[in-house]
Structures are given as structure tokens and as C-alpha cells.
Structure 1
Amino acid sequence: MLVGKKEIEVRYAETDQMGVVYHANYLVWMELGRTSIIEDLGFKYADMEKEGVISPVIDIQASYKKPVRYGEKAMVHTWIEEYDGFRVTYGYEIFTESGDTALKGMSQHVCVMQDTFRPISIRKKFPIWHEAYEKHKKQPVATE
């Protein structure tokens, strides 16, 4: 399983009056992590969009554990939690500068044609992406 890593330097604009990162900004960081792991696999969202395909979020979850503050750096870890040829679920863990878990989350996506929003098969439309996702997705734990 590939785990992408993206360092984030917390900007003042991302924080609230207490100097703590505002909760919605973690969703932006999750997107940065997602884009980063896609690039780690050798692809770009922009190339998919050039073919008229977009990948909307259909579910997102975030569990906040510890605050990240202005002046710190955060580290976003991203991986492919599940993939079935149509849906992709990305897993996230965001760490504080000291290495504590700040957030655990996931986002689920489908690929659709931009003009009709009709779902498409990643397996058929982007077979090279499909192979990479199959190869690098999280593997189930074997039980005896």
C-alpha cells in the first residue's frame, strides 16, 4: 500500500481567533493529500478533466483528535483505502508537527462525465489508473 505524504505549513488565514486551524481547512488539506498521492502514482486530475471526467466527493468523514495551530507544520498521509473500479475511498491521517494525530478521515469519490454526471468505469475509461489503484490500494488483513 502506497502512503502519500504532504507537508502543510499552517497559514494565518487557515486559523480561527484562537490560532487553531479552522475545521473546514482540514478538508482542503485532505484534497491536497489526494492530489499528491495521485501525482505520486504518476497521474494528474487535470488530465482526467481534459477528457471530460470529474471526480466528485460522494461521502466524507473527519474525526478531529488534536488541534493544529498557526506557525506549525502539519503532515497529511493519504492512501487508497478501497477501490472497486468505480468508487475510490481515500484514507487520511493528519499529524501535528510533534507527530500527534490531529485528524483521521476518509473521502469517497466516483468518476462521472462532466456534461451529464453519468458515472463511468475507471477500469474501462482509464485502465492505467485502474491498474495503479489496484496495485496500491490497502490490502485486507489476512485472518486464519
Structure 2
Amino acid sequence: MLVSTKEIEVRYAETDQMGVVYHANYLVWMELGRTQIIKDLGFSYAAMEEDGIISPVIDIQVSYKKPLRYGEMATIKTWIDQYDGFRVVYGYEIFTPTGETALTGTSSHVCVKKDTFRPIIIRKVYPEWHAAYEQAKK
């Protein structure tokens, strides 16, 4: 199974009055993780959008474990948790600088035509992505 890694330094603007990362910023970091695994597989989400295809989030599950603070390095691990040729579920773990788990989560996605929001079948429209996702989830 392919697990992609992305590191990000916590910026001041990402913290709340308590000095810890505001919870919604973790969702942005999960997006960075998705973008990284797609890149690691040799593809580009931006190129897919140029084709008129987008991949909205249809479900997201997050469990917060430990806080991250301004100036710390967060490590985002992302993998393909489930894939069936139509729906993709990405798995995530975000770690503190000491290796403790800050977050675990998943996000579910489908691909749709941007102009109609009609779903597409990834394995038919993007057979190269399909093959790469099948291989990466093993």
C-alpha cells in the first residue's frame, strides 16, 4: 500500500486563541495530503479539472487526538483506504513533531462532471488513474 507523506509548518494564522491549530485547518491539510498522493501516483488533480471533472467530498470523518501549535511541523500521512472504480476513500493520519497522532480521519469522494454534477466512473474515464489506485490500495 502506498502511503504519501507531506510536511507542513504550522502557521500563526492557523491557530486559535488557545494557541492550537483551529480544527477546520486540519481539513485543509487533508486536502494537501490528497493532492500529494495523487502527485505521487503521477497524476494531477488540476489536469482533471481542466477536463471538466471535479471530485467533491461526500463524507468526512475526523478524530482529533493531540493539538499542534504554531511553529511545529505537522506530518500528514495519506493513503487510499478504499476504492471501487467509482468512489475513493482516502485515509489520513497527522502527527506531531514527537510522532504522536494528532488526527485520524477519512474522506470519501466521487468524480463528477463540473457542468452537470453527474457522476463519472473513474475506471472508464481515467483507466490510468484506475490502475494506479488499484495498485496503490494493495
Question: Gaps (5+ residues) in structure 1?
Answer: 140-144
Q: Which whole-Å CA distance do the structure 2 matches of 1:99 and 1:69 have between them? A: 14
Match of 2:118 in 1: 118
2:10 matches 1:14: no
2:44 matches 1:69: no
Partner of 1:39, secondary structure, is helix
Q: Which whole-Å CA distance do the structure 2 matches of 1:49 and 1:2 have between them? A: 24
* One-letter amino acid matched to 1:111: C
2:50 matches 1:28: no
Q: CA deviation at 1:60?
A: 0.3
Q: CA deviation at 1:45?
A: 0.4
Q: Which whole-Å CA distance do the structure 1 matches of 2:98 and 2:72 have between them? A: 9
Match of 2:94 in 1: 94
Q: Deviations 1:59-92 (Å, cap 9, x if unpaired)?
A: 0011000000111000000000000000000000
* One-letter amino acid matched to 2:127: P
**Backbone CA RMSD of aligned residues:** 0.5
Match of 1:83 in 2: 83
Question: Gaps (5+ residues) in structure 2?
Answer: none
- The two structures have a TM-score, normalised by structure 2, of 0.99
Q: Which whole-Å CA distance do the structure 1 matches of 2:125 and 2:50 have between them? A: 13
2:49 matches 1:55: no
- The two structures have a TM-score, normalised by structure 1, of 0.95
Question: Structure 1: which 4+ aligned runs deviate by more than 2 Å?
Answer: none
Q: Which whole-Å CA distance do the structure 1 matches of 2:94 and 2:7 have between them? A: 10
Match of 2:133 in 1: 133
Aligned length: 138
* One-letter amino acid matched to 2:72: E
| Aligned residues with identical type, % of pairs | 75
Q: Which whole-Å CA distance do the structure 2 matches of 1:49 and 1:81 have between them? A: 23
Q: Deviations 1:81-124 (Å, cap 9, x if unpaired)?
A: 00000000000000001100000000000000000000000000
